[in-house]
Amino acid sequence: MELVDICFNFTHKSFRKDEPEVIARAIRAGVTTMIVTGSSVAESARGLELVARYPEHLYATAGVHPHQARTWDPQSSAARLRELAEDPKVRAMGEMGLDYNRNYSNPVDQRRAFQEQLALAVELGLPAFLHQRDAHTDFLAMLSEFRTGLVGTVVHCFTGSASELEAYLELDCHIGITGWICDERRGTHLRGLVGCVPEDRLMIETDAPYLLPRDLEPRPRDRRNEPAFLPHVLHAVARYTGRPAEQVARQTTETARRFFRIGSVPGASRPDD
């Protein structure tokens, strides 16, 4: 089964000690395509450097995470992201959005960075890779303003409520599911919701090195998540949707390839692929 990990934070320092082995383990596990997520202007550029080392298996997003919104420079950030997006390996803008859970950046800065990145995604004709935590009302209002101009959207690492899921599906958003669904403390509600996501709008992800599935055995000593563990998420999603793992693998892979315009799926190629 070939899988696509739609969120791999490969720029994280924990991967520098063994990055070739991380990629090799993923491929052996069937995770043949990984999307390297951009979290700041600098990290987006760094991500493209890593993608260039493993071009057969990696693609990228370019954006500023809400945690990093305080670094957004109205004079230069959008221009620099626009330059990075000229690279054919960039397949979406983001990770962008709002996060009021920790407020590493204040909400005003978050909303400014989010709005400008949404506008940039519309301008460039690239999908938006989205993050939302404890900010649903503002997030939904801002996304709704731009939705008709966006070629696609994915609410990655969805952990929200049934009403939030319904709102995102009404906006024709895709939904990304992580190992959060394996967490018996916080993720049990997702087990009843994942089956509500249409098959052609569901994708899976690790969000590595974060969100190591709590029921993974054996667990790595350093508790670092990595793309090789995506099949564990796949089997959890299959279990809670009541569908065969092979079917979920095929559908989520086709959906991800189409969303990020990655070859071999009709309508999936970016012009400069």
Both tokens assigned to 202: 């569901």
Asked whether residue 270 carries a pLDDT value surpassing 80, the answer given is no
Asked whether residue 271 carries a pLDDT value surpassing 60, the answer given is no
Domain definitions of the chain by residue range: 3-259
Opening angle at CA 122, ends 142 and 101, nearest 5: 35
Residue 239 DSSP class = H
Q: pLDDT tens-digit profile of 142-184?
A: 999 999 999 999 999 999 999 999 999 999 999 999 999 999 9
Q: What is the 3-state secondary structure (H, E, C) of 85-109?
A: CCCCCEEEEEEEEEECCCCCCCHHH
Q: CA-to-CA distance for 102 and 116, rounded, in angstroms?
A: 21
Q: CA-to-CA distance for 186 and 178, rounded, in angstroms?
A: 12
Q: pLDDT tens-digit profile of 185-242?
A: 999 999 999 999 999 999 999 999 999 999 999 999 999 999 999 999 999 999 999 9
Residue 134 DSSP class = S
Question: Tell me, what's the pLDDT at 266?
Answer: 46
Opening angle at CA 260, ends 122 and 7, nearest 5: 105
What SS3 state is found at 183? coil
Least confident of 67-71, 116-120, 267-271: 267-271
pTM of the full structure? 0.95
Q: pLDDT tens-digit profile of 9-26?
A: 999 999 999 999 999 999
The domain made up of 3-259 has a fold known as TIM Barrel (3.20.20)
The mean pLDDT value for 121-135 works out to 98
Give the DSSP H/E element, type plus range, for residue 254.
helix 245-259
**Chain centroid offset of residue 23 CA:** 18
What SS3 state is found at 219? coil
Question: Tell me, what's the pLDDT at 104?
Answer: 92
Question: Tell me, what's the pLDDT at 263?
Answer: 82
First to last CA, the chain: 23
Q: pLDDT tens-digit profile of 27-72?
A: 999 999 999 999 999 999 999 999 999 999 999 999 999 999 999 9
Q: To 10 degrees, what angle do helices 136-146 and 107-124 make?
A: 30
Which residues, 6+ apart, have CB-to-CB distance to 133 below 8 Å? 98, 99, 100, 101, 159
Q: CA-to-CA distance for 104 and 110, rounded, in angstroms?
A: 9
What SS3 state is found at 56? coil
The strand pairing partners of 153, in sequence order, are: 128
